[in-house]
Structure 1
Amino acid sequence: FVTARAKAIGFGENDLSRIKIAVYEACLNAIQHTRKMNPGDKVVVEVESRARTLVVNVYDRGIGFDPDKTHDYDVTDAASHRKTGGMGLHIIRRAMDEVNYQMDTLNGNKLIMVKHLKN
Structure 2
Amino acid sequence: MSTKNFKNEITITSKTENLSQVRDFIKSIAETCGFTKEEIGKIILAVDEATTNVIKHAYHYADDKEINIKASCEKGKFSIIISDEGSVFDPNKVPLPDLKEYHKQKKVGGLGMFLMRKLMDDVKYEHFANRNKVTLVKYI
CA distance in 2, matches of 1:58, 1:15: 19
**Equivalent residue of 1:21, what SS?**
helix
Alignment partner, residue 73 of structure 1: 97
Q: Are 2:55 and 1:31 aligned? A: yes
Alignment-mate amino acid for residue 120 of structure 2? M
CA distance in 1, matches of 2:130, 2:96: 28
Alignment-mate amino acid for residue 113 of structure 2? L
Residues 55 and 62 in structure 2, CA contact (< 8 A), matched pair in contact too: no
TM-score by length of 1: 0.86
Q: Are 2:37 and 1:13 aligned? A: yes
Alignment partner, residue 135 of structure 2: 112
Task: Using the TM superposition, give the Cα deviation of residue 18 of structure 1 relative to its aligned residue in structure 2, in angstroms.
Answer: 0.6
Residues 55 and 61 in structure 2, CA contact (< 8 A), matched pair in contact too: no
Task: Give the unaligned 5+ runs of structure 1.
Answer: none
Aligned Cα RMSD in Å?
A: 1.8
Task: Using the TM superposition, give the Cα deviation of residue 70 of structure 1 relative to its aligned residue in structure 2, in angstroms.
Answer: 1.4
**Equivalent residue of 2:73, what SS?**
strand
**Equivalent residue of 2:136, what SS?**
strand
Alignment partner, residue 79 of structure 2: 55
Bigger CA drift: 36-45 or 25-34? 36-45
CA distance in 2, matches of 1:16, 1:37: 27
Task: Using the TM superposition, give the Cα deviation of residue 84 of structure 1 relative to its aligned residue in structure 2, in angstroms.
Answer: 2.3
Q: Are 2:68 and 1:44 aligned? A: yes
Residues 38 and 61 in structure 1, CA contact (< 8 A), matched pair in contact too: no
**Equivalent residue of 1:43, what SS?**
strand
CA distance in 2, matches of 1:79, 1:37: 27
Alignment partner, residue 83 of structure 1: 107
**Larger strand proportion of the pair:** 2
**Equivalent residue of 2:32, what SS?**
helix
Q: Identity rate of aligned residues, in percent?
A: 28
**Equivalent residue of 2:60, what SS?**
helix
CA distance in 2, matches of 1:69, 1:107: 19
Alignment-mate amino acid for residue 43 of structure 2? I
TM-score by length of 2: 0.74
Deviation readout 1:1-52 (Å, 9 max, x if unpaired): 2222111121111110111101111111111123329653111111111042
**Count of residues in Structure 1 that have an aligned counterpart in Structure 2:** 116
Alignment partner, residue 102 of structure 1: 126
